[in-house]
Amino acid sequence: MEVSLLNSQQLDLIKDQDFLIEKRIVLNVLARHFQKVESGLKSTIHRYEKILPKGSLTVTGRISRGDNYKGLPYLVLDFPRFSSGDKVFIYRTMFWWGNYFLCMLITKNCGYSLIQKKVPKDLMINLGSTPWNYDMNDECWESLEKQRHQFLAISRKVDFGNIDNLEVLSKETFEDIMSLLTK
């Protein structure tokens, strides 16, 4: 008796073209929506011109996609963004398939610290060894009140049910985070 390399569910999946076509359509729709998110951010970032890294206002947003963040597809908008050598300043709006949207500031070696003030409870900070961990269920993410580390990676998780409000929520998250930064 011959044993199949794939089980019946996997065989059905590789026969299903519709899922991959729909996946591509969904990612294209979200990429167009991310362009609206970028426009919303452009309407507010000039207010933070003095604290943003020089050159970050002249760089356009970058939308990129991939198929393997912890095994799942993702889509990312980086705006505003700046990098030079070991200096990084990125405001990232991210879609992670099967999980959530994420609105996140990553900054390293740009001289920022956080102002001690009341912060929104849903803002979380990454206390891990790398700022590039987007899994808000990971134990490295804690309440923003704990903030002693070598980089800033501050994030707000946005449930899929809020997709129609993503432009506003990304802009609000950016403003909430920027109001906490000082140089």
Range of the domain at 145: 8-182
What is the pLDDT at residue 118? 77
Whether residue 66 lies inside any domain: the answer is yes
Max mean pLDDT range (50-54, 55-59, 136-140, 169-173): 169-173
Whether residue 1 lies inside any domain: the answer is no
Q: Which residue has the tokens 């519709």?
A: 18
Helix (H) or strand (E) holding 31: helix 17-45
Per DSSP, 54 falls in state T
Whether residue 46 lies inside any domain: the answer is yes
Whether residue 147 lies inside any domain: the answer is yes
Whether residue 42 lies inside any domain: the answer is yes
**13-47 residue pLDDT tens:** 889 999 999 999 999 999 999 999 999 999 998 89
Task: Count how many domains the chain has.
Answer: 1
pTM above 0.95, yes or no: no
Query: Beta-carbon neighbour count of residue 136 at 10 Å?
Result: 17
